[in-house]
Amino acid sequence: MGAGWGPVEEVAAPGAGSQLALAALPLADGRLLAVWAGYDGQDDEILFALRAATGRWSAPARVARDNDVPDITPALAAMPGPDAGALVAWSRFDGASTG
């Protein structure tokens, strides 16, 4: 293990497809929020999990409803204030061709 790195933490179990574009940030209440794109068997969806102060991760869940199109490259921003959360944004293929 290199200097400054802790042990590996599994946030989501391996799946049948890709899980990529992880973004994470600490929340004001001490939890850690992680979001990423994960394949659900048909397309990519944006998933999230919360790490409690105890170190335990919540089960991964979708950020938005399943829409049958790829949702990719999530980004996070902390919202200001002591009780504030976070804002997540991502890219979504709308099904239209540009050609």
Q: Where are the domains of the chain?
A: 19-92
Closest to 18 measured CA to CA, from 48, 38, 35: 38
- Residue position matching structure tokens 């049958």: 68
pLDDT digits (tens, 9 = 90+) for 40-87: 889 999 999 999 989 999 999 999 998 888 999 999 999 887 777 899
pLDDT digits (tens, 9 = 90+) for 13-22: 888 888 999 9
User: Which pTM does this prediction carry?
Assistant: 0.85
